[in-house]
Structure 1
Amino acid sequence: MHSRFIGNGEFLLRLDIPLVLSSSSSHSSKSQHLELVLLHIPASMAASKVLVEYAKSSRSSCKICSKNITAGSLRMGFSTKDPRGFDSVRWHHLNCYANSHPLGTVEEIKGFFSLKGSDQESLRKLVAEPTSSQSLDGDNMKEIEESHEMEVKKRKLLGAENKKNLEVKFSLSDVKNKYKDANLPPNWKAFNTIIFNEREEGLHDTEKIAAFDFDGCLANTSVKRIGADAWSLMYASIPEKLQELYNGGYKLVIFTNESNIERWKNKRQQAVDSKIGRLDSFIKLVKVPIQVFIACGLRNGKMESDDPFRKPMTGMWKIFTEHFNSGIALDMDQSFYVGDAAGRTNDHSDADIKFAQAVGLKFYVPEKFFLA
């Protein structure tokens, strides 16, 4: 028995079973093929969303084996809508995709006719002789697991190197009640180009850290809307999820960029009140204590950070681990970071995933973390 995807959202099940065929002289048993349409999936959910293209850079990684996809090489993926309505593509190596997803017909694969003739022929062969029946166990699964372990180790080493190279001197004498000319609420302080909230009751230091971005991750906000009330929950499951983490012994921390506080020199107080007001309202809504760090610094014209605290730079993380968690050694296997800036199609940047990689934390996008 084997199955394959035949297009138009249909899978074909082929059975090799003995059938008794009647003849005028005798009965004989022959192996016959029965082909049945096993499952129907709406075309909009099937191959119509499969894409193929040459990788524009080496930044993407395969969602099956976790290895980088080399610039210029063929990559396949499927497009889905994220909760904000944007298209998000999950890219794979060509063979990794074929081993784990239905291919449909080449006519249904977006971008097929833009490929070189030789690559079109290779893809036609994959469709004609599908490899999806090959299971991801044995040697294949071992390779995937080893690749994942190597990626985690690489992130931890990268995090250690960044901590060694980034020198941030923190002194209580440099902590202020104002951010430049803007007043801060009583429980908020400023140091250099970051703003942070003071410890509140119930916020315990621990080795397990659940870290999050704020805008686009925990809160649905817009740069076009200003004000402490101009936000809504990104996902309805957030309060319950954060309460579970807190009750499970995690310390909750938010690391968020907000360059408007630095940029809006004539409206800085308004920018401060808007950002802090949203954060205070969020913490009150979810009913768990959360440590917050706001990076107010600017990035340079090359879309990279000049400020040591602005993500993906690791200054906020360094300040937190060295001065706001009692010096406790962190359990990096259980700690993690969730953010929406993952460098995907229509993401505004890749600052969150690079921040997580730089400090050695496991990374999740919010829709996977809160909706799984």
Structure 2
Amino acid sequence: MSTSQAAATVSVEYAKSGRSTCKGCSAAIASGALRLGASARDPRGFDSTKWYHVACFPASSHPLGPIEGITGFDAIKDDDREELRQLEKNCKRGNAAVGPLDEPSPKKVRRVAEKTIVSVEYAKSGRSTCKGCSENIAKGALRLGASAHDPRGFDSTKWYHVACFPTSSYPVSCVENLKGIDSIKTEDHEKLRELEEKQKGDGNVADQLNEPNQNKEMVDNMGDSKEDGEKSLEEAKLSARNKETGPLVSFSASDVKDKYKDATLPAHWKVFDTVIFREKEDGLHASAKIAAFDFDGCLAKTSVRRSGADEWSLMHKSIPVKLQKLYYDGYKLVIFTNESNIERWKNKRQVAVDSKVGRLDQFVERVKVPIQVFIACGLGKGKGTPDDQYRKPNPGMWWLMAQHFNSGIKIDMDQ
């Protein structure tokens, strides 16, 4: 075993976002899913962690025992601890997960991904755990499963609440083709069709440019590419700093309005161009450290088929505590979210406005910390329609905030 392997530290945690990729199967690791990491000192002088699904972890290269000594073991749920103990037993019997020398080629990985089967059913008991939010799936609740052949030789199914199902990893192109759909009640078919809308809808994926740790993740990911392997940490930081300057956004107080076209807004909401923003409140301070998030599908569960200020719920119950910690650590919290219905619903624009700003106001009240909010109302590029510069993934809202809503304080992209 090499020195780098001997020095590797194994850790376990619930994925903080849905952006990490399993180094075993190359599939995305869903936000909140249990994952194992192997951390070692990179030849370039900094620590690098490779993340894996539990079933894909190469225990032959990074031994797990004793399982209770894994970093983070005490912080996970009892059911998940048992899953790790079972993995340790399998390793001792010689059935360890695929090691680096046995990792499948990209062609094999693609074939495995193609064989993933998405199914739907009502939960047979209350013992299963959603791999998206880590909460229990109630007995009789509608659930979706992603089934694939496990590297250890058996079929494995990951279960999700319908609202938590990662369509970016397991596309649902046609609800009628789902395995088990014939046994599902007619009224529940509508919930499943929302998944198809979710893949096309606004703002269901967090904008990576807005994450406070984007620079660190960029550096970590460099370790996965041979071509980038020669880059130094300083070069990576320089690349991130080059993003600190962007196109100049022309802004004047005289351009700020109280209404979005024919729709009125609450007194603490204003409009600039195609952006609706929440005015500064007590306790919201400009900062060099920005923690930015999407709203729909990131901080809150929402539906593209339902309108109303009350039609939302927390994506995870720990969100208020985590946002409060960031705030007290000196970060300014910012939400960047798309809502093209405000522009598109010409006859129901007021409904769309009241629904979106109402949800955001309730969310800010729920988490009990001041948050700066920007809503991009413009449309994406289409026939005869130019791409709105503020609509994500375009970075217009970020530059609007950085240049005109941060009191002139330069944002530190290393934070």
Class of the TM-score when normalised by the shorter of the 2 chains: 0.5 to 0.7
Deviation, 1:154, is 3.1
Partner SS for 1:294: strand
| Matched AA of 1:288 | V
Distance 1:11 1:215, change over 3 A: closer
Structure 1 residue 223, shift from structure 2 partner:
0.4
Change (3 A) 1:270 1:159: same
Shift of 1:11: 7.0
Q: TM-score if structure 1 supplies the norm length?
A: 0.53
Give the alignment of 1:154-169 within 5 angstroms: 154-158=239-243, 160=245, 163=246, 166-169=247-250
SS in 1 for 2:257: coil
Say whether the 8 Å CA contact 2:334–2:371 is kept in structure 1: yes
Find the aligned partners of 2:250 and 2:341 in 1 and give their Cα distance.
25
Match for residue 244 of structure 1? 325
Aligned partners of 1:305 and 1:311 also within 8 Å: no
Alpha-carbon distance in 2 for matches of 1:292, 1:233: 17
Out of 298, 303, 309, which is 1:217 matched to?
A: 298
Which residue identity lines up with residue 184 of structure 1 in the other structure? L
Change (3 A) 1:329 1:167: closer
For structure 1, the 5+ residue unaligned runs are: 14-34, 42-46, 55-76, 91-137, 335-372
C-alpha displacement at 1:214, in angstroms? 0.5
SS at match of 1:253: strand
> Would you say 1:52 and 2:52 are equivalent positions?
no
| Alignment counterpart, residue 264 of structure 2, candidates 171, 183, 195 | 183
Q: Quick check: 2:287–2:406 contact (8 Å CA) kept in 1?
A: yes
Residue from 163, 166, 175 that aligns with 1:86: 166
8 A Cα contact 1:239 1:287, kept in partner: yes
**What amino acid sits opposite 1:270 in the alignment?**
V
Query: Partners in 2 of 1:52 and 1:304 — Cα distance?
Result: 39
* SS of equivalent to 1:52: helix
Q: Identity over the aligned pairs, expressed in percent?
A: 55
Q: Deviations over 1:111-154 (max 9, x none)?
A: xxxxxxxxxxxxxxxxxxxxxxxxxxx9x99x759477655543
Q: Distance in 2 between matches of 1:145 and 1:286?
A: 43
Once the two structures are overlaid, the 10-residue window that deviates more, 244-253 or 299-308, is 299-308
CA distance in 2, matches of 1:216, 1:189: 24
Q: Is the 8 A contact 1:187 1:198 kept in 2?
A: yes
* Structure 2 residue aligned with 1:200: 281
The C-alpha deviation readout for 1:81-135, integer Å capped at 9, x for no partner, is 7771226659xxxxxxxxxxxxxxxxxxxxxxxxxxxxxxxxxxxxxxxxxxxxx
For 1:321, give the aligned amino acid: A
Deviation at 1:302, TM superposition (A): 7.6
Q: In structure 2, do the counterparts of structure 1 residues 223 and 268 end up closer, same or farther at CA, with 3 Å as the change threshold?
A: same
2:320 is matched by which residue type in structure 1?
P
Contact 1:81/1:88, CA 8 A, preserved across alignment: no
1:223 corresponds to which letter in structure 2? Answer: V
SS in 2 for 1:332: coil
Secondary structure of 2:359's partner?
helix
3-state DSSP of counterpart to 1:240:
helix
Partner of 1:329: 410
- Cα gap change, 1:174/1:245 in structure 2, threshold over 3 Å: closer, same or farther? same
Aligned to 1:37: 93
Q: 2:56, 2:335 → 1: CA distance?
A: 45
> Counterpart amino acid of 2:165?
G
CA contact (8 A) 2:293 2:336 kept: yes
Q: Is the 8 A contact 1:253 1:290 kept in 2?
A: yes
Which sections of structure 2, spanning at least 5 residues, go unmatched?
3-23, 25-54, 62-90, 98-102, 112-149, 152-156, 171-222
| CA–CA distance in structure 1, aligned partners of residues 58 and 253 of structure 2 | 65
In structure 1, distance between residues paired with 2:287 and 2:379: 31
Q: What letter corresponds to residue 86 of structure 1 in structure 2?
A: P
RMSD of aligned C-alpha atoms?
A: 4.3
- Structure (1/2) with the larger strand percentage: 1
* Contact 2:390-2:396 at 8 Å conserved across structures: yes
Question: Computing the radius of gyration over CA atoms, which structure comes out larger, 1 or 2?
Answer: 1
Q: Secondary structure at the match of 2:336?
A: strand
CA distance in 2, matches of 1:320, 1:8: 41
Whether the aligned pair in 2 keeps the contact of 1:10 and 1:37 (CA below 8 Å) is no
